[in-house]
Structure 1
Amino acid sequence: MTIAKLRIARPTDDIEALKPFYIDGLCLKVLAKFSDHSGFDGLMVGDPELPYHFEFTKNSEHLAGRAPTKDNLIVFYLPDTREWKQAVQRMQDVGFAPVTSFNPYWDILGRTFEDPDGYRVVLQNASWG
């Protein structure tokens, strides 16, 4: 069976403001970027070895605004406690403090961080499943 590849795409009003969070904090790599493609600028970040990436797009004629709720989450499962602690520390070192999760479940084994657009990423110290 073929494993589907996943692109999480969303608009932003400021691509540059997202770079410290996703590139420096989460250690994702720039996979591609484009400008003025049918009126859109874009940035794709991820890891070329993994079957997912994020695409952020900006259109000068459309305001994207902030996340619609505090429960819009991307969750990364990091079962190794040492690696999880390093990931949490790296986010803090880049300047992002953990926030209290809207759903308290995510605060038990994880830390939630909010990007400049108000979207949240949970670093969960647990295995998937």
Structure 2
Amino acid sequence: MTPVLRIARPSDDLDALLPFYRDGLGLRLLGRFDDHAGFDGIILGHPDAPWHFEFTRCRGHSAGRAPTQDNLAVLYLPDPDDWQTAVTRMEQAGYPPVPAFNPYWDRQGRTFEDPDGYRVVLQNAAWG
């Protein structure tokens, strides 16, 4: 059995994150909840993929920004055309690439910073 992976983290502004992950990365909004035991949240991903992102906001609590510039989620896109389409979509959505903290990621990828300071690398390579 292959497990399903959920990457969950807090945010202070779900509405600012939504366009980055939906319009920029091209993920679908799979779910949303409000005031679930004091938490609001959004879940984004691809319906058939065994992974997704969940972002939550706890009412009355500040989550703050990413602690470092090396907090990454890396998406491997080995097909050059798919990779270029993804990079272009991010740029057209208003998210320019930023220099990677670790220069390794700049060799075959582009790094983008979300409104909370967390980073996503679009890597033009196969994983493994």
The interval holding the TM-score normalised by the smaller chain is over 0.9
Deviations 1:84-116 (A, max 9, x none): 011001000000000000000000000000000
Report the AA paired with residue 46 of structure 1: G
Is 1:74 equivalent to 2:111 in the alignment?
no
Query: TM-score w.r.t. structure 2 length?
Result: 0.99
How far did residue 33 of structure 1 move? 0.6
How far did residue 48 of structure 1 move? 1.1
Equivalent-residue separation in structure 1 for 2:71 and 2:31 (angstroms) = 25
**Residue identity (%):** 63
> What is the 5 A alignment of 1:38-53?
38-53=37-52
Query: TM-score w.r.t. structure 1 length?
Result: 0.98
Aligned to 1:106: 105
How far did residue 40 of structure 1 move? 0.5
Equivalent-residue separation in structure 2 for 1:86 and 1:117 (angstroms) = 24
Deviations 1:1-53 (A, max 9, x none): x0010000000000000011100011111111100000000100111100001
> SS at the partner of 2:111?
strand
Moved over 4 A (4+): none
How far did residue 58 of structure 1 move? 0.4
> What is the 5 A alignment of 1:1-129?
2-129=1-128
How far did residue 60 of structure 1 move? 1.9
The answer for unaligned runs of 5 or more in structure 2 is: none
How far did residue 59 of structure 1 move? 1.1
Equivalent-residue separation in structure 2 for 1:52 and 1:86 (angstroms) = 21
Equivalent-residue separation in structure 2 for 1:101 and 1:121 (angstroms) = 10
> SS at the partner of 2:44?
strand
Equivalent-residue separation in structure 2 for 1:49 and 1:125 (angstroms) = 22
The answer for unaligned runs of 5 or more in structure 1 is: none
> SS at the partner of 1:41?
strand
